[in-house]
Amino acid sequence: MTIRIQTEDFDITKEINLLKEERSKCGKEDVGAIVTFTGTVRDMAGKTPISSMSLEHYPGMTEKQLEAIAEEANKRWPLLGTTIIHRIGELNPGDNIVLVITLSSHRHAAFEAADFLMDFLKSKAPFWKKEQPLEGEANWVDARDSDKKSLTRWEK
């Protein structure tokens, strides 16, 4: 399990290979399905053109929350590897923000777990986005009701 908060970019292929190698070291090639989710910065916030975005977080709590979310995913699905990487600081349209990777023997577990991880990350991990429009003052992004609703899909 890899959890990282960083300012620098990530390479998806490299991160997948790290997880695969970690699993191979256990003497097994039982990974059959790899799902990745990458969130990227869009150049529009609704109808407002955006020139950049900055991301703040709560060091310590972030790692704790992400570990708890990853552990919950590993309880619910037979995962063979999990990575969560979230960038902080100044980002531009097109830049990567977040990466989630799940490895499993079968594809449904990998898909569902990645979907689950993103839903919980969006609603539970203490990150805040501030968008800088092309003109005018920067705005803190509002939380979305749709993200809260999305969480209810995972109630047992």
Q: Under 8 Å CB-to-CB from 60, ≥6 apart: which residues?
A: none
Among 73, 81, 113, 115, binds its own copies (CB under 8 A): 115
Interatomic CA distance for residues 120 and 78, integer angstroms: 18
- The answer to the question of residue 132 lying near its own copies (CB under 8 A) is no
R_g over Cα of the chain = 16
x/- mask, its own copies, residues 56-95, rule CB under 8 A, reads -------------------------------------xx-
Calpha distance 55→117 (Å, rounded):
19
Rule CB under 8 A: choose which of 6, 7, 28, 138 binds its own copies: 28
Comparison of 22 and 96: residue with beta carbon closer to another protein? 96
* Distance from C-alpha of 97 to C-alpha of 10, rounded to nearest angstrom: 9
Query: Which residues would be at the binding site for its own copies (CB under 8 A)?
Result: 11-14, 16, 20, 24, 28-44, 93-94, 105, 107-108, 110-111, 114-115, 118, 150
